[in-house]
Amino acid sequence: MNKDHFEIRLVEKQEIQFLCDLAAGEGWNPGLRDIECFYQADKSGFFIGLLNGEPIACISAVKYGEDYGFVGFYIVREPWRGKGFGLAIWDYALDSLSGRVIGLDGVVDQQDNYIRSGFKLAHRNIRFEGTAKAEGNKAKSLVDVKSLPFEQIAAFDAGCFFEERKNFLKAWFGEEGHVGFAKINGKEIKGYGLIRPYCDGYKTGPLFAADPTVANDIFNALCTEVEGSNIILDVPENNTNGLLLAEHYGLEQSFETARMYKGGNIDLPLEKIYGITSFELG
């Protein structure tokens, strides 16, 4: 690799679709409007690699609070793989997260490389998909997630994630085609979930719930919105009730990633995480 002609820099707003296009080319099927929301999470966390001015690689290294970061969108266009460009942009991204605990969801064929970079396996995330089939009407204790005070739902979300992510959530809840429900007990939020469209149907993410009944009520409500469409749910393997939820709705395993961390571990409440938000941003 001749690094004199390989430039790594921040993605500019008009270039952000490049990352989504590369991900789609890998068969990752991002949500139709994911990238615009992801960009709001941390505008300083998306990088592009250009060879003689031509974009050939990308990666995201999104910062959460002062202590955490998450890596995704690590892609090099096929003609330029194996030439050192991927390692260069990888190192650049990790350097941008120096001093933080760094997470990622690694595809199977890259996990050994991540281990060599100092990442350790925490658990698997299993992708389930199938036809959305609702079981009766929505539970009466469910409300549109957008109707809740934003600070309240953001605080609940932070309890199931690495840190607060208010900029991301504002975009995530407000994006066209994104539909979400929350379970309320008195004034207390017991869980919430959201679906958004992708090229072959709908993706669930997140689905956070205090217990299996809450998770079922929310997922059933989401299924009523897209009955008969393909639906995806990405479940942490350690959440046995999440696996049972996917099985109950007839969803089948189609893909998996390894949740890995470097610089420490993140003790997420996996028993409340029935569906992660995304493989790209955690």
What distance in Å separates the CA atoms of residue 20 and residue 212, rounded to the nearest whole number? 33
In this predicted structure, the answer to whether residue 87 has a pLDDT above a threshold of 70 is yes
Selection from 138, 150, 151 nearest residue 183 by Cα: 138
pLDDT at 136 over 90: no
- The tokens of 120 are what? 């350790």
For the chain, give the percent of residues with pLDDT over 90: 90
Which residue type occupies 241?
A: N
At 54-80, the pLDDT tens digits run 999 999 999 999 999 999 999 999 999
Question: Among the residues of 80-231, which ranges form H helices?
Answer: 85-96, 111-116, 150-158, 166-174, 212-225
Say what the pLDDT of residue 148 is. Answer: 97
Q: Quick one: pLDDT at residue 77?
A: 95
Question: Which candidate, 245, 238, 241, 243, places its Cα nearest to that of 259?
Answer: 238
In the predicted structure, residue 129 carries a pLDDT above the cut 90: yes
What Cα–Cα distance (Å) separates residue 4 from each residue in 56, 83, 85, 86, 124? 15, 14, 12, 15, 39
Structure confidence at residue 24 (pLDDT): 86
User: How large is the average pLDDT for residues 221-244?
Assistant: 98
* β-pairing verdict for 54-64 and 68-76: antiparallel
Q: Which residues pair with 143 in a beta bridge?
A: 182
Average pLDDT over the chain, rounded to an integer: 95
Write down the pLDDT at residue 3.
53
Look-up: residue for tokens 């002062």?
66
Task: Give pLDDT, residue 27.
Answer: 79
Q: Which residues, other chains included, contact 78 with Cβ-Cβ below 8 Å and sequence gap of 6+?
A: none
pLDDT at 2 over 60: no
Q: What is the pLDDT of residues 155-192, one digit of tens each?
A: 999 999 999 999 999 999 999 999 999 999 998 999 99
> All domains of the chain, ordered by start, with CATH?
3-124 (3.40.630.30), 127-275 (3.40.630.90)
Give the model confidence (pLDDT) of 265-276 as tens digits. 899 999 999 999
| Alpha-carbon separation of residue 211 from 13, 136, 137, 261 (angstroms) | 39, 20, 20, 26
> Sorting pLDDT into bands at 50, 70 and 90, what band is 30?
confident
pLDDT-derived band at 153 (thresholds 50, 70, 90) equals very high
Proportion of the chain above pLDDT 70, given as a percent: 99
DSSP conformational letter for 5: G
pLDDT of residue 1: 54
Q: Tell me, what's the pLDDT at 97?
A: 98
- Phi then psi for residue 54, to 5 deg, are -95, 125
How far apart are alpha carbons 21 and 250 in whole angstroms? 30
Torsions phi, psi of 88, nearest 5?
-65, -45
Between 181 and 137, residue with greater pLDDT: 181
